[in-house]
């Protein structure tokens, strides 16, 4: 009996990560919507910021929000924290089992920066820790007092880390680390700021003291950051399925465009939920669409597109395929660790190459995600020649 331990661990952790992530994102979206939907109405008790009426599941709900805290501690108080904690824990476990355990295949690209496995792992871990402390210092500095200035500073910080990652790791490893960086900041916001501040408010109530309103404002600021970062971090986490994003020579620019698109879409919903109409909500989605179009065009530029010059012969193309691809993708793989062709894709004959030409174009030429970890050291020149040949000999 053969048990693929790494694959099963990866599947279980990924499943858990998706479940806890849905719970965290769902509660985050709900509470931001609720906060923005609150309305002040006549006759409300002192200290109440606003109320909201909702209907769901056959019943009506009436929610009030106190500006700081109620005058007395309620008997039942529900906390929302474990969703965030377990989303980060399962995500970090995935990072370890896939990108650190198999760093040679997924994290390290010698053509970007030759480095040892442990150097790559330590670089990733230290960057995640440093990213949180830099972000936290910015929020607590005078920059953090103005929403616009803080947003720009946060964007610059993420872009700086994105540039660094794309010049250190493989494209796939760089994108996942940007996602891990943002996810770490979001989870640390909950663990280090939001929940501790809420506990201080509860302790003040139980002691009969008046809670400090600054604690709530600080927690709300971090919660708002988490809300705006959610859509970009989701794109980072699924990017490994779409090599055309992380394989670009300027992948850090791709990350910046994703941040802008995700932020604009989130801003549209937040503005609408807060009661914005007309011009207040008319520009966000069109602007997001424009930046999305820019992203698609930017990513779709293919340096392997045909240039002036001769197209290589089928024999030369098959030589590249046999040397760089067929060591794994063959009926009889010669690469250590491969007993069968991955996904059943084989390149032993010209007909097999023809059948899988578009997949080869996407993965090896444009996406550059194959060969895995570039273990056969396929050059950019070879990718370009192979792309020219596929376009010329095997059009869609």
- For 105-145, the pLDDT digits (tens) are 889 888 888 899 999 999 999 999 999 999 999 999 999 88
Q: Do 266 and 173 reside in the same domain of the chain? A: yes
- What's the mean pLDDT in 56-71? 84
Q: What is the pLDDT of residues 309-318, one digit of tens each?
A: 578 888 888 8
Taking CA atoms, 17 is separated from 13, 58, 94, 100, 177, in Å, by: 6, 31, 8, 17, 16
Range of the domain at 319: 314-393
In a domain, 305, yes or no: no
Strand partners of residue 39: 51
- What pTM did the predictor assign? 0.81
pLDDT at position 396: 46
Q: Which of 25-34, 93-102, 180-189, 334-343 has the highest mean pLDDT?
A: 180-189
Using the 3D structure, point to which of 271, 300, 329 is the last residue of a domain. Answer: 300
Q: Do 234 and 278 reside in the same domain of the chain? A: yes
In a domain, 189, yes or no: yes
Taking CA atoms, 9 is separated from 38, 89, 241, in Å, by: 43, 14, 19
Q: Helix, strand, or coil here: 59?
A: strand
Q: Do 276 and 323 reside in the same domain of the chain? A: no
In a domain, 320, yes or no: yes
C-beta separation of 389 from 382 below 8 A: no
CB atoms near residue 71 (< 10 Å): 11
In a domain, 158, yes or no: yes
Q: Do 104 and 196 reside in the same domain of the chain? A: yes
The domain tally of the chain equals 2
Using the 3D structure, point to which of 300, 326, 359 is the last residue of a domain. Answer: 300
C-alpha to C-alpha distance for 246 and 239, rounded to whole angstroms: 7
C-alpha to C-alpha distance for 283 and 277, rounded to whole angstroms: 11
In a domain, 308, yes or no: no
Q: Which residue do the tokens 């045909």 mark? A: 306
Q: Do 17 and 126 reside in the same domain of the chain? A: yes
In a domain, 296, yes or no: yes
In a domain, 328, yes or no: yes
Residue 362 has pLDDT above 60, yes or no: yes
Q: Do 362 and 340 reside in the same domain of the chain? A: yes
Q: What is the pLDDT of residues 285-309, one digit of tens each?
A: 999 999 999 999 998 875 545 555 5
Q: Compute the mean pLDDT over every residue in the chain, rounded to the nearest whole number.
A: 86
């Amino acid at each position: 009996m053969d048990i693929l331990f790494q694959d099963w661990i990866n599947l279980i952790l990924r499943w858990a990560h998706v479940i806890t992530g849905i719970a965290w994102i769902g509660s985050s979206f709900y509470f931001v919507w609720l906060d923005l939907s609150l309305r002040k109405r006549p006759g409300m008790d002192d200290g109440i910021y606003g109320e909201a009426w909702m209907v769901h599941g056959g019943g009506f709900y009436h929610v009030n929000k106190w500006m700081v805290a109620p005058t007395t501690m309620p008997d039942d108080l529900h906390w929302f924290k474990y969703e965030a904690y377990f989303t980060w824990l399962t995500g970090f476990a995935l990072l370890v089992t896939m990108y650190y355990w198999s760093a040679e295949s997924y994290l390290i690209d010698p053509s970007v920066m030759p480095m040892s496995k442990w150097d790559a792992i330590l670089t990733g871990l230290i960057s995640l820790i440093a990213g949180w402390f830099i972000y936290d210092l910015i929020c607590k500095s005078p920059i953090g007092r103005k929403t616009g200035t803080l947003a720009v500073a946060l964007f610059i910080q993420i872009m700086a880390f994105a540039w660094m990652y794309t010049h250190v790791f493989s494209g796939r490893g760089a994108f996942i680390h940007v996602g891990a960086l943002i996810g770490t900041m979001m989870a640390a916001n909950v663990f280090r700021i939001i929940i501790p501040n809420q506990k201080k408010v509860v302790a003040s109530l139980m002691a009969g003291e008046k809670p400090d309103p600054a604690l709530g404002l600080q927690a709300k600021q971090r919660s708002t950051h988490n809300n705006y970062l959610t859509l970009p971090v989701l794109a980072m986490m699924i990017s490994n399925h779409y090599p055309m994003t992380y394989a670009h020579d300027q992948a850090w620019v791709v990350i910046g465009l994703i941040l802008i698109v995700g932020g604009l879409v989130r801003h549209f919903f937040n503005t609408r939920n807060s009661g914005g109409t007309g011009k207040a909500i008319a520009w966000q989605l069109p602007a997001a669409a424009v930046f999305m179009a820019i992203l698609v065009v930017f990513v779709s530029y293919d340096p392997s597109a045909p240039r002036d010059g001769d197209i290589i012969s089928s024999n030369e193309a098959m030589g590249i395929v046999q040397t760089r691809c067929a060591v794994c993708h063959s009926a009889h793989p010669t690469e250590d660790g491969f007993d069968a062709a991955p996904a059943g894709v084989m390149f032993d004959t010209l007909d097999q190459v023809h059948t899988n030409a578009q997949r080869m174009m996407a993965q090896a030429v444009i996406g550059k995600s194959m060969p895995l970890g570039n273990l056969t050291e396929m050059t950019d020149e070879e990718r370009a020649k192979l792309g020219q040949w596929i376009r010329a000999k095997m059009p869609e």
